[in-house]
Structure 1
Amino acid sequence: MRTEDLLAAVATGMWRWDHTSERVTLDAEAARLLGLPAAPAELTQAAVRSRFHPVDFAEVMGIVQLAVAEQTLAESRLRIVDEQGRVQRIVRSRSRPRVVDGDLEMVGTLQEVPEPQPGTSAAHTPITGDWRRSREAFLLDAGRALAEARSTAEVLRVAAGLSMPGFMPDGLAVFGIDGDRLPVIGQHGYASGDERPFADMTLTADHPAAEVVRTGRASYLPTPEEYRRRYPATWPLAARFRRTSWAFLPLVNAGRTIGAWMAAFAQPVAFTPDERSVLTTVARMLAQALARAVMQEEQQELALALQRSMMPTVQPDIPGMTVAARYVPTGGGLEVGGDWYDMIPLPSGRIALVIGDVQGHDVRAAGLMGQLRIALRAYASEGHHPDAVLSRASRFLAGINETELRGHGEDQRFATCLYIEVDPATGLLDIARAGHPEPAIRMSDGTMLVRPTAGGLPLGIIPDTDYPTTRLVLEPGETMMVCTDGLIETGGHDLDTGWERLRDVLEAWEADEDGESLERLADALVQAVHGPPSHHTTGPLVDRREDDIAVLLLRREGAACGVGTGGLLTPQPVRRTVLSVAQAEPERIAEARRQVRDVLHDWADPDQVDSAVLMVSEMVTNVLLHTDGDALLVAEITGERGARRIRVDVADSSDELPHRRSPGELASSGRGLMLLELLAGAWGVDPRGDGKSTWFELYEEAAEAAGPLSSESESESESESAA
């Protein structure tokens, strides 16, 4: 009996598909199954394609590519339709694709699909549009979840949670490649320690995963008998887990096998072409996600190592002071940042604290940061004052920019910086600022104030830039915080809302005299932005990292307030702010108003706060308008809460005392002393040897003495201040 007659007797047809000529040759049975006359025929590819359901034909091409890659049979189920598109029957196609001289050719059989047998996965995965839609939705969700996974652990968690349509593995394992070994890098559905028998497996082992890595072809084991027959040596290790079907697939990325993926099933799985297609697609996405995660982890580790090598340790034993610092890198690949801090012993016996931020998040930013930090150290060690240190550093960075622009066409980079020279004995701080966020002071009573400091352009923009110096005093019990803008602005905050977030952390912190207290504050500031760190100090964080962060804390030790030893009361803390407003800086009047409002943030009567802000604005404006000198503002709060006094002094170098005037309704000035008489609890003008001081006082217990300020008066005063 001829082969054709034998196949026809069992309702099986034969066909040959030549993709080069786009011709399909059918025997009589194959033609009948396609709804054509039962006679041998040679048709065009388009004519045969018209007999298949359009969705099914698209599926066939993917299955053929899978079979070519795996060097296996291409099996698919196809709906045969008539001229009106109505489904006539479902056939199973089995073919052997071959690539000859770059041309694809398939020879195979067609057979009508019998009813599925109960108890197998095929019975639950009919070839329907609903199943295909479920599969497409699953693959989209799986691809999205794997693409978003940022670490190996996250990739494995996503893989363990995949719910495949129609069949669901209850055991997963991922094998990596380490030399000639195949370690288990992740598993799901097994108890801890179950992977130990496979921990030392080699590439030459008689195990499906080893064979898959060696050959690059998937291995499907639908029954325990098949597993035992093909891998007798390792079957006893797998038998104890009581699974009934297994799929082992290579993890291939960029043409290189990086491991193997095992999916084990408690229920029988026939591994139909549809099921194999799903598994193969997941394996490809899993390989890409793992490769991407491993690369990102390696880059992140390289970035951390680079930053740690450049980042100094702070000196913990400054007499009378405590220092704490944190650096947190940005996230995502090799995004080494330009943030840094430093602590430099000076020839004078003082200490310099430096914090800065080079523009950018790349290797060049980190390299510039390293060079700039070394240059600043050199200039500081030569004994230059803060303004001279920053001027020299700006020329240094501008020179690097000019060289790189000529040699490599690189973009110009700049850097912000805050340089603080600290006298540990007196708490004196000499500050020079180059475009950097200003320092914040937490006072001994817990109030946080952002200290306005004079400043110049960021380093590297203009070579010859002057950087004025601001002098502050860090009182006993006070803590200074300096940071880069990543701590302030991460999470969608601007400078105002970012400072408010940090204010809450600083004011809630309970200070004590041990160094660990300041370390806890440093952790709390970082956690307020990102959440708990996974490692102490400079470890990576579990939350978003939009920008890298550097923060430096300096606390001057002092006696705690309240009940001291022996039951004696120590003095209540004094809350004080000092601000200089130069003739050439009238815009700093707004800073003066903000400083007074910040000092009075917990004052009982908000009307008195408005009054104090208005009087300060008037007093400072009068100095700038009617004298040739600068104004020095000192605001000080004393006493117990609820019965406090604020005294504000505005000093200038003019000997001319103010005098009362009677301004007309349209006058734009002349109301300063009238406002003091109306709003202040007490006020006066005190002559000094080098000028005078105009002052006023407000008393918290007299909150009801001063009436609310009219909007008309406030508007007039604001107009005068603006002038």
Structure 2
Amino acid sequence: MPTTATLPDDWPALPDLSLALNRMGSFDWDLSTGLMHMDRTALEVFDLRPDEYDSRPESLTRRVPPAEAVRLDTLVTRALKSGSTSYGAYFRIRRRDGRLRWTHTQGRILRHDGDGDGDGRPHRIIGIVRDATPELSQSAERLGLDEERRRQTSVVEGTTAALAHARTVQDVIDALSDSHGMERLGSMGFIMGLVEAGRIHLVAEGPPGSFVPGTRYTRIDEEFPMSEVVRTLQPRFIDSREEFASRYPQLWSRIAWMDFSAAAYLPLIAQARPIGALGLLYQDKGRFSQEERNLLVALGSSIAQSLQRAMLLEQEHDLAEGLQQAMLPRRIPAVPGAEIAVRYRAARMGRDIGGDWYDVIPLPGGRVGTVIGDVQGHDTHAAAVMGQLRIVLRAYAAEGHSPATVMTRASVFLHELDTDRFATCTYVEADLSTGVLQIVRAGHIDPLLRDRHGDCRCLPVDGGMPLGLSAEFGRLEYPVTTVELDPGETLLLCTDGLVEQPGADLDDGVQVLTSLVRGGPGDLQKLADRLCEAGDEGGGDDDMALLLMRRRTTDAPQGGGRLQQHVAQNDPQALCSARHMIRAAARAWGAEERSDEIALVADELVTNALLHTDGPATVTIRVLTGPERRLRVDVEDRSSALPRRREAGETGLSGRGLMLVERLSDVWGVEPRGSGKCVWCEFAVA
């Protein structure tokens, strides 16, 4: 009879024993708390003692190289988001002795019941981890190579995409040095140098705190790795610390304290010439495989092309900005009675340059002209037109023409230039002894006025067409708006680059600027800086010009003042501005007690000129110095007919004008002026 074999007492083996004998450990990962339990065998697979693991997955990072950790995290995240119920992956760990070992993990994803009260979200992963060294051999290596090739392709694509938007050298450095850039490159840090006049200028210093004094500028013939790759145009791959020390002892003595195990230095070559060099430092890395070397050489070529493009854009922008700056005033003259601050900011994108400008023009009689303008377009042609327009406008103003005439002549000049550009502009003629401002606006945005208490408001100014267009369409009339600037008040002129924001209405930008001025610092220079900073923060890409003028009284010019206003037919606003100008000038020049009389007489003379002639009138008020200080009002018109006194009668509505002039003024008279005449009157001033 056959005999029955005796079975062992421990047969069949328990699952834990079976897993342990085959070097397979288990884990249970609670996704809600983030804690992961690992049994003793699983910890042995990771070459960890129980006291070295605190149930947190982060504790495993000392054993998993960064590149492997990124790949594994990506795999698990994709499985969680895609609704999968399981995943599996091969990856490498680094043992205590530094050697790499293949490992395999398999996980089962538990989710809340999506058909019941649950939402289908993952809440737990239960799986195994095992030593895969015996089974992998060449098949696993091929699998790893396939994954490595996919990773390399992703690295090239990701780095190229990140560099595509770089427009400056700093943009290139930022794209490589951020967390994603370091993750793509797989390095702990990088060093970058640019070739400048036979030297290498270090522009990126590697890991934080790793800068080596004395290496900011190095000669190309020195025995440094970056110098060598620039000289030979060949990359250098250093597989160990010992190799680095033997090949570059001079540099090694300064960086031996750094924690890296390998390094790669790449020449950055564009158009067959070296423009710089790139150094990459690695932790937990041995020899560079041929695939890794090919990948880094390809990345070096892509980085070099982006770097050269960024350098060319910076050079073009610097050239354009230099041209613009050369056409702006080199200095702003000191203006008695006023504090002035000016700012210009070039467009930030590429070689964009605009026609924005400002100017401050000393005028006869202690007056001053201030200009802000913007020529259409963003190119060197706009800057060239701006330079010519600025010069002629300055010349017309310095000749003593009225503000309206200055603007009219400038428009005719621009129209006659061989250009299709137009320009917006605001011109202000200021008499700082009186505070009277005569403002002419040609299609430009309105100025702002900040009072001495810090409040700010928009200053509505009547305007005409932009310069060039008004001459083309025959609409050369530019109304003059007269306002009074009190001591301590500030006038703000700017171009639309300061108020235009992407996707926002211009009026909204003006309101934002008004609030910034209202809440800005009292110091004029600091206020100008703050407004420019706010413009940069707003993300606008247009260039910008800014002019601030604050009236002071401590050193305001006294005496010898002269103001003029052109009053056209059927222009009641100009007549109102003339009245305002005369009344303000009389108060400021010491004739406050007679300001009403002077304003009434001047108004009568201007009204007579408009009623009894077919053309406009020009009213001028000025101070006559001598033994007796006097204010003189001149009203010029184009008619040669002399005024005559008439009896008005008891019910007459006219005929009393010259009676008022004779009664209220100290002396008056008529002078011929070419084909016209000038009616004048004078008032003694204490």
Q: TM-score, normalised by structure 2?
A: 0.56
Q: Number of residues paired by the alignment?
A: 426
How far residue 557 of structure 1 moved from its aligned partner, in angstroms, is 3.5
How far residue 428 of structure 1 moved from its aligned partner, in angstroms, is 1.0
How far residue 176 of structure 1 moved from its aligned partner, in angstroms, is 2.2
Residues 316 and 322 of structure 1 are in contact (CA less than 8 Å); yes or no, is this contact kept in structure 2?
no
Gaps in structure 2 of 5+ consecutive residues: 1-131, 555-566, 574-655, 658-686
1:488-499 → structure 2 map (5 Å cutoff)? 488-499=499-510
Indicate yes or no: 2:240 matched with 1:223: yes
Look up the match of 1:454: 462
1:254-265 → structure 2 map (5 Å cutoff)? 254-265=271-282
How far residue 485 of structure 1 moved from its aligned partner, in angstroms, is 0.9
Look up the match of 2:524: 518
Look up the match of 1:434: 442
- Cα deviation, 1:543-570, whole Å, max 9, x if unaligned, reads 73411111112222479xxxxxxxxxxx
- Cα deviation, 1:311-359, whole Å, max 9, x if unaligned, reads 2266574333322222111112222221000000112321111110011
- Cα deviation, 1:14-41, whole Å, max 9, x if unaligned, reads xxxxxxxxxxxxxxxxxxxxxxxxxxxx
**Which letter maps to 1:262?**
G
1:62-461 → structure 2 map (5 Å cutoff)? 126-129=144-147, 131-161=148-178, 162-163=180-181, 168-189=186-207, 191=209, 193-194=211-212, 196=214, 198-199=215-216, 201-227=218-244, 239=256, 241=258, 243-312=260-329, 315=332, 317-401=334-418, 412-461=420-469
- Cα deviation, 1:153-177, whole Å, max 9, x if unaligned, reads 3322332335566972224212322
- Cα deviation, 1:571-605, whole Å, max 9, x if unaligned, reads xxxxxxxxx9997899xxxxxxxxxxxxxxxxxxx
Look up the match of 1:68: none
Question: Could you tell me how far apart the structure 1 residues matched to 2:184 and 2:211 are?
Answer: 30
* Bigger shift: residues 495-504 or 144-153: 144-153
Residues 125 and 138 (structure 1 numbering): CA distance in 2 closer, same or farther, change over 3 Å?
Answer: farther
Q: Secondary structure at the match of 1:335?
A: coil
Q: Secondary structure at the match of 2:532?
A: helix
Question: Could you tell me how far apart the structure 1 residues matched to 2:208 and 2:513 are?
Answer: 45
Residues 173 and 261 of structure 1 are in contact (CA less than 8 Å); yes or no, is this contact kept in structure 2?
yes
- Cα deviation, 1:379-409, whole Å, max 9, x if unaligned, reads 11111111111111112212222xx5xxxxx
- Cα deviation, 1:240-281, whole Å, max 9, x if unaligned, reads 545322212111123322122111223233322332233223
Gaps in structure 1 of 5+ consecutive residues: 1-113, 405-411, 512-516, 532-542, 560-579, 587-688, 691-723
- Cα deviation, 1:395-449, whole Å, max 9, x if unaligned, reads 2212222xx5xxxxxxx11111111111111111112211111222223454433
Residues 159 and 184 of structure 2 are in contact (CA less than 8 Å); yes or no, is this contact kept in structure 1?
no
Residues 195 and 127 (structure 1 numbering): CA distance in 2 closer, same or farther, change over 3 Å?
Answer: farther
Residues 116 and 123 of structure 1 are in contact (CA less than 8 Å); yes or no, is this contact kept in structure 2?
no
Look up the match of 1:556: 551
Question: Could you tell me how far apart the structure 2 residues matched to 1:453 and 1:171 are?
Answer: 58
Look up the match of 1:59: none
Residues 508 and 228 (structure 1 numbering): CA distance in 2 closer, same or farther, change over 3 Å?
Answer: closer
Residues 488 and 494 of structure 1 are in contact (CA less than 8 Å); yes or no, is this contact kept in structure 2?
no
Residues 341 and 356 of structure 1 are in contact (CA less than 8 Å); yes or no, is this contact kept in structure 2?
yes
- Cα deviation, 1:640-677, whole Å, max 9, x if unaligned, reads xxxxxxxxxxxxxxxxxxxxxxxxxxxxxxxxxxxxxx
Residues 495 and 165 (structure 1 numbering): CA distance in 2 closer, same or farther, change over 3 Å?
Answer: closer
Question: Could you tell me how far apart the structure 1 residues matched to 2:198 and 2:451 are?
Answer: 62
Question: Could you tell me how far apart the structure 2 residues matched to 1:548 and 1:442 are?
Answer: 24
Question: Could you tell me how far apart the structure 2 residues matched to 1:419 and 1:201 are?
Answer: 53
**Which letter maps to 2:532?**
V
Could you say which structure has the larger radius of gyration?
2
Residues 242 and 452 (structure 1 numbering): CA distance in 2 closer, same or farther, change over 3 Å?
Answer: closer
**Which letter maps to 1:546?**
D
Question: Could you tell me how far apart the structure 2 residues matched to 1:483 and 1:491 are?
Answer: 18
**Which letter maps to 1:556?**
R
How far residue 117 of structure 1 moved from its aligned partner, in angstroms, is 14
Q: Secondary structure at the match of 2:325?
A: helix
**Which letter maps to 1:370?**
G
Indicate yes or no: 2:503 matched with 1:485: no
- Cα deviation, 1:461-518, whole Å, max 9, x if unaligned, reads 335523222222223343221111111213433222112101212222464xxxxx22
Question: Could you tell me how far apart the structure 2 residues matched to 1:441 and 1:397 are?
Answer: 29
Residues 390 and 428 (structure 1 numbering): CA distance in 2 closer, same or farther, change over 3 Å?
Answer: same
Residues 249 and 283 of structure 1 are in contact (CA less than 8 Å); yes or no, is this contact kept in structure 2?
yes
